[in-house]
Amino acid sequence: MYRYDEFDHAFVKARVAQFRDQVERRLSGEITEEQFKPLRLMNGVYLQLHSYMLRIAIPYGTLAPRQLRMLAYIARTYDKGYGHFTTRQNLQFHWPALRDVPDILEHLASVEMHCIQTSGNCIRNVTADHFAGATADEVADPRPYAEILRQWSSLHPEFSYLPRKFKIAVTGAERDRAAIQVHDIGLHLKKNAQDKLGFAVYVGGGLGRTPMVARKMRDFLPEEDLLSYTTAILRVYNLHGRRDNKFKARIKILVHETGAQELTTQIEREFAALKDSDLKLPHADIQAIQNYFAPPALPPRPEGGGVLVRAADDGNSFARWLRHNLHTHRNPDYACVTISLKGIGDVPGDISADQMDAVADIAEAYAFGEIRVSHEQNLVLPHVARADLRAVHDRLHEIGLATPNAGLVTDIIACPGLDYCALANARSIPVAQEIANRFADEERQEEISMLKIKISGCINACGHHHVGHIGILGVEKKGAELYQITLGGSGDENAAIGEIIGRGFGPTEIADAVETIVGTYLSRRLDASETFLAAYQRLGPAPFKEALYGSHAKAA
Amino acid sequence: MKLLAANRLADGEAVWLGPDGQWVEDISAAEVARDADSADRLERIGHEAFLRNEVVDLELIEVEIVNGQVRPARLRERIRAAGPSIHPGLGKQARKSAFTLI
């Protein structure tokens, strides 16, 4: 992975010292809350319902064991012993004291981490496919380009005060696991007919109160033009984005109001002026960054094959874990392992300090010291020899992290919701817990097969409900929680925004409603190979509406 | 009836204005304003504490008394008083009084 150079170290260290001074001045009353608030937000410190919250950037979701151990240390020393992984591959601590934050930042800096640009109207943490650099289906590792974007965008003077926040995601595979089409810029790394690397560029995707799927602005942008084209997009946005209205300030609205064709013309005009400027990436620079992401030397481990073939017939939990929590590695002796942070009844994305330490140990022992965070709030060990899967499973089982449910109905995304968040209108986590408990039976989960439920506690959609196969949005109605259901959303390469199915459901009814939807799918699917999403696309909303709101349904 | 809610500046803890201008961590110890004049007084004391950099995010919240216990009208404020409805072993939610609030 990328290692800080002298400049990076000095920069982050200076920033910690700066923030320490700002906190001291705030606590002594030298500066007011109004003056301090933008400063704390620039360092990832929010004020939530019960306390401050600190959001730590995990660039493109790549973590080293020493970093995870430091997060465990911080969780124990300064928080309540756990952390929460988010849908943007970051980690949040929900209970830090403001007076401790400078010390926390200093600890983070010692392992090359920080909280810069995890808030504010700037370019946020660049996210990437969590299987990057390991998966069999990618043309190249997208993370070097995410790192180039990170370096370029860090404290970029022109783009530090954009009309609104700006999110970029990168994938190197046709199968989109980074939800690039619902980002402000989505980059799909691909090769052209001449075998040259470049990007399909998507612009103007986003969720929130006005969900939109991005428009493809370029089918192939040569890799050396990455920064000049991105700069062109941001210049047009910075100039014309709606600063007059916070709710219309994201680039998706600009794309919608201007029209994709006209906006492309403006971007291309800007790009033509920048194309041969200093922003053109020299091949040697790309190569230098790529070298940081060189995959580990993977020794041949052919002995894994036979063991797994026998284990797969067992019908036990390990066999299920093999079926669901593995992803095909480009080396047939290896696999990418998903560590589910969705134990039945647990808080999606939460991990205890002890679990963090244990995962760091497992990654060092069996996974070449590489750990990833997925936007689905799970962890990934990208390089595990198939021969070691039993050992890895058993070690994960010991710490309660071997739930065999990746991609299944209980692998639910949920935002922190009203349990923590000052913006939320309803709780998300207890809904996720109840649905997971309802579908706890592993055989039943397998029967249902792939089904993505995503829950947000407000219209800002941190839980990505718009792109859930079943999406749940919590709202407040007459002082009580109410949950609206959307069906048919998808965050992959066939991105789609789910459709609202009808009236909402109360907190005690929402799990029943999900049961009804799943039951309708099971009774109407063509066969076991037809997924929920495929069945919904074939059937449309009618049978689900009928099942939910028929004369005996309990709609709120 | 109203209470004055805030977060303590130094650690962010959710607090309420109690008797004698003290900030309390348990909502049941907060001072209840039963009329507009009392509510104004709470706000005035709160604003002075804000200026002394003791608290931030001041808000007068609606409450009622149910079975002799203070109960905020909005769920948001009930959760704030009781702690998150998850991780029952940690923080405010571990207190016995929290269970009756949400």
Tell me the CA distances in angstroms from A242 to A164, A252, A257, A267, A470, one per residue in order.
9, 10, 10, 17, 32
Angstrom distance (rounded) from CA A137 to CA B7: 49
Q: Would you say the C-alpha torsion A227, A232, A233, A234 has a positive or negative sign?
A: positive
Contact across the interface for A33 and B50, Cβ inside 8 Å? yes
pLDDT grade, residue A412 (50/70/90)? very high
Distance CA B66, CA A384 (A): 57
Instruction: Identify which of B13, B74, B87 has the shortest CB distance to residue A479.
Output: B74
CATH class of domain segment(s) A304-398: alpha beta
Q: Taking 80 as the threshold, does the pLDDT of residue A420 lie above it?
A: yes
Give the chain B residue nearest A46 (alpha carbons): B12
pLDDT of A54 over the 70 cut: yes
Q: Per-residue confidence at A304, pLDDT binned at 50, 70, 90? A: confident
pLDDT for B89 beyond 90: no
Average pLDDT over residues A22-51: 97
Within 10 angstroms of residue A541's Cβ, the number of other Cβ atoms is 16
Whether residues A50 and B85 touch (CB distance < 8 A) is answered with: no
Name the residue among B12, B56, B85 with its Cβ closest to that of A33: B56
Q: Which tokens belong to A476?
A: 């407040």
The whole-number pLDDT of residue A311 equals: 75
- pLDDT for position B100: 66
In tens, the pLDDT along B9-52 reads 999 999 999 998 999 999 999 999 999 999 999 999 999 999 99
ipTM for the predicted complex comes to: 0.94
- Domain ranges in chain A with CATH number 3.90.480.20: 6-110, 304-398
Q: What architecture (CATH level 2) is domain A135-292?
A: 2-Layer Sandwich (3.30)
**A-side interface with B, Cβ within 8 Å?**
26-29, 33, 47-52, 80-82, 95-99, 347, 418-420, 424-427, 429-430, 433, 476, 479-481
pLDDT of residue B92: 76
Closest-CA residue of A relative to B73 is A479
What is the pLDDT averaged over residues A74-103? 97
Report the half-sphere exposure of A73 (CA within 13 A, side-chain side): 15
- CATH code that applies to domain A413-549: 3.30.413.10
* Separation CA A25–CA A146 (nearest Å): 35
| % of chain A surpassing 90 pLDDT | 94
Please report the pLDDT score of residue A314 as a whole number: 66
* Whether the predicted pLDDT of A458 surpasses 60: yes
Res A554: pLDDT: 47
A272 pLDDT exceeds 70?
yes
Residue B91: pLDDT band (50, 70, 90) is: confident
Region(s) of chain A under CATH 3.30.413.10: 135-292, 413-549
Q: Is the pLDDT of residue A318 over 60?
A: yes
Say which residue the tokens 């049961």 belong to. A515
State which H helix or E strand residue A456 sits in. strand A453-456
Q: List the single residue in B12, B80, B92 with the smallest CB-CB distance to A97.
A: B12
| A458 Cβ contact list (under 8 Å, min separation 6) | A415, A417, A421, A423, A424, A425, A426, A473, A474, A475
Q: Do A418 and B7 touch (CB under 8 A)?
A: no
Q: Is A292 helix (H, G, I), strand (E, B) or coil?
A: helix
Q: Provide mean pLDDT across the span A491-498.
A: 97
Domain A6-110 falls under CATH 3.40.50.720: no
pLDDT at A556: 41
Query: How do residues A220-230 score in pLDDT, each as one tens digit?
Result: 999 999 999 99
Q: In whole angstroms, what is the distance from residue A202 CA to residue A218 CA?
A: 7
Average per-residue pLDDT for chain A:
96
Whether the Cβ atoms of residue A455 and residue A413 lie closer than 8 Å to each other = yes
What are residue A237's phi and psi, to 5 degrees? -65, -45
Strands (E) across A258-367 are located at 326-328, 334-339, 350-352
Tell me the per-residue pLDDT of B51-88, one tens digit each, with 9 for 90 and over. Answer: 999 999 999 999 999 999 999 999 999 999 999 999 88
pLDDT at res. A555:
43
Subunit contact B9:A50, Cβ cutoff 8 A: no
User: What is the pLDDT at residue B94?
Assistant: 75
